[in-house]
């Protein structure tokens, strides 16, 4: 049975490798130079933007949980941050990152992490959980819809 625990400093390599892999999946058509530059820049950005410490991110009332598989292997993570709704100014719990290691997918871990996010929101007294997802990420969209998430806004872009 996979279990959840707080992030530890020794998780960094697994954490950032899964983060970069997740981001790369959202850039399937990007040229190699863009992908390489992103991979070089992203770990440094994460450490500085979120004031990374041994116990993980220290900004935005973050919570970073790691999922361990039965043999203690790194199976995924869930990173939550507190944000403020632009329109209502109410606090929201934002799913900054959710990811499951590729060898562990489609075994219910993603759903377990989403349920942990909802439980954390309730513990914090926050009644609204938000996230953003790439329109091409069918697995994630299906996961979110399956636990009740609805599309509220769309991000649009035009390359000129």
Ligand X SMILES: CC(C)(COP(=O)(O)OP(=O)(O)OC[C@H]1O[C@@H](n2cnc3c(N)ncnc32)[C@H](O)[C@@H]1OP(=O)(O)O)[C@@H](O)C(=O)NCCC(=O)NCCS
Which residues of the chain form contacts with ligand X (CB under 6 A)?
22, 98-100, 105-111, 133, 137-140, 142-143, 146
Cβ distance to ligand X smaller for residue 125 or 148:
148
User: Smallest distance, Å, CB 93 to ligand X?
Assistant: 15
55-62 long-range contacts (CB < 8 A, ≥24 apart) are 55/6, 55/7, 55/8, 55/9, 56/6, 56/7, 57/81, 61/124, 62/96
User: Smallest distance, Å, CB 125 to ligand X?
Assistant: 25
Cβ distance to ligand X smaller for residue 56 or 110:
110
Greatest alpha-carbon span in the chain: 50
User: Smallest distance, Å, CB 104 to ligand X?
Assistant: 7
The residue number whose beta carbon is nearest to ligand X equals 110
Query: Can you tell me whether residue 66 is helix, strand or coil?
Result: strand
Cβ distance to ligand X smaller for residue 72 or 125:
72
Cβ distance to ligand X smaller for residue 98 or 126:
98
User: Smallest distance, Å, CB 89 to ligand X?
Assistant: 25
74-84, strands of its sheet edge to edge:
3-6, 63-68, 74-84, 91-100, 129-130
């Amino acid at each position: 049975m996979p279990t959840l625990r707080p992030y530890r400093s020794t998780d960094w390599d697994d954490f950032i490798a899964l983060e970069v892999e997740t981001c790369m999946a959202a850039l399937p058509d990007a040229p190699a130079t863009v992908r390489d530059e992103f991979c070089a820049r992203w770990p440094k950005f994460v450490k500085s933007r979120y004031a990374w410490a041994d116990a993980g991110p220290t900004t935005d009332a973050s919570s970073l949980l790691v999922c361990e598989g039965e043999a203690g292997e790194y199976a995924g993570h869930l990173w939550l941050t507190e944000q403020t709704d632009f329109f209502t100014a109410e606090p929201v719990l934002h799913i900054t990152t959710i990811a499951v290691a590729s060898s562990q997918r489609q075994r219910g871990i993603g759903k377990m992490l989403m349920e942990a996010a909802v439980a954390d929101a309730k513990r914090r007294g926050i009644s609204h959980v938000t996230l953003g997802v790439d329109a091409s990420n069918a697995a994630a969209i299906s996961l979110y819809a399956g636990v009740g998430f609805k599309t509220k806004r769309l991000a649009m872009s035009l390359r000129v």
